[in-house]
């Protein structure tokens, strides 16, 4: 199957595209886009890969679903398009970032500026039907993104994985923490952060300290 994706990822994941589950997944997604409003726009489904090639990938931030409101999702986990109000989880991310490294809360919630520096903003499920959170779960996306994580784990070394919340942490059980730097915290959603474990987690400074220790450029958060 010819998948329109950044070439280095296309090569790394080429065997995955030949599997029956992926063929079934793509047929399902095509029908959903044909019959319903689905986010993100079709050309941005693989945006996380297109903005962060394999060799550039230094950090992985795992999300769950794309945002399901109009104009929000842009194919990057936790990110929204320019001009869109910041969802509560993203605002909490920015608050922690400000407290951790002093970065002012930005006017835009578009995280493409992180992606182009080597942050893979990966959702477990890459599409969603409008207004229906979780509507494309258990259709095959999770199997695909598990394969992505496994490939990064196997083929690279010294990647920072930021696992926020129970879902991301369970999905990240395949990561070799001796080979990579794994950071865990509660999810930045208002409900989860209310109980502690998000604010004060200092993942952004820890990630940069680790990158610097390996002689790599820090992320300009």
Residue 14 belongs to some domain of the structure: yes
The predicted model scores a pTM of: 0.96
Answer yes or no: is 175 within a domain: yes
d(CA 60, CA 69): 24
Q: How far apart are CA 130 and CA 57, in angstroms?
A: 30
Could you tell me if residue 198 is inside a domain?
A: yes
pLDDT at 3: 82
Catalytically active residues are 65
Range of 58's domain? 7-214
Does 137 fall in a domain?
A: yes
Q: For residue 146, is it within any domain? A: yes
CATH number at residue 15: 3.40.470.10
Residue 129 to residue 72: CA distance in whole angstroms: 13
Nearest to 163 by CA among 212, 127, 219, 122: 122
* DSSP-derived 3-state class of residue 84: coil
- How many separate domains does the chain show? 1
CA-based torsion, 123, 203, 9, 168: positive or negative: negative
Residue 182 is predicted with a pLDDT of 98
Distance CA 109, CA 68 (A): 16
* Any domain includes 1: no
Amino acid 192: pLDDT: 67
Burial of residue 56 (number of CB atoms within 10 Å: 0-12, 13-18, 19+)? middle
pLDDT in tens for each of the 221 residues of the chain? 678 899 999 999 999 999 999 999 999 999 999 999 999 999 999 999 999 999 999 999 999 999 999 999 999 999 999 999 999 999 999 999 999 999 999 999 999 999 999 999 999 999 999 999 999 999 999 999 999 999 999 999 999 999 999 999 999 999 999 999 999 999 999 886 667 789 999 999 999 999 999 999 999 99
Task: Identify the pLDDT of residue 1.
Answer: 60
Rounded to an integer, what distance in angstroms lies between the CA atom of residue 63 and that of residue 115?
14
pLDDT score at 28: 98
- Is residue 219 in a domain? no
Q: Does residue 220 form part of some domain? A: no
């Amino acid at each position: 199957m010819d998948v329109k994706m950044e070439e280095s990822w296309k090569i790394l994941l080429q065997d995955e595209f030949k599997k029956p589950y992926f063929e079934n997944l793509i047929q399902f997604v095509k029908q959903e886009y044909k019959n319903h409003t689905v986010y993100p726009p079709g050309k941005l489904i693989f945006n996380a890969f297109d903005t962060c090639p394999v060799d550039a990938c230094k950090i992985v931030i795992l999300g769950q679903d794309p945002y399901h409101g109009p104009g929000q999702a842009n194919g990057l986990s936790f990110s929204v398009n320019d001009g869109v109000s910041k969802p509560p989880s993203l605002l909490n991310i920015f608050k922690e970032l400000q407290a951790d490294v002093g970065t002012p809360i930005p006017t835009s919630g578009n995280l493409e500026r992180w992606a182009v520096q080597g942050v893979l903003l990966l959702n477990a499920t890459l599409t969603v039907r409008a207004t229906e959170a979780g509507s494309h779960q258990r259709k095959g996306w999770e199997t695909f993104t598990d394969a992505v994580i496994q490939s990064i784990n196997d083929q690279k070394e010294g990647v920072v994985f930021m696992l926020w919340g129970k879902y991301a942490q369970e999905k990240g059980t395949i990561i070799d923490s001796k080979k990579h730097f794994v950071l865990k915290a509660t999810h930045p959603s208002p409900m989860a952060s209310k109980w502690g474990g998000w604010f004060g987690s200092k993942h952004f400074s820890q990630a940069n300290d680790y990158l610097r220790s390996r002689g790599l450029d820090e992320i300009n958060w």
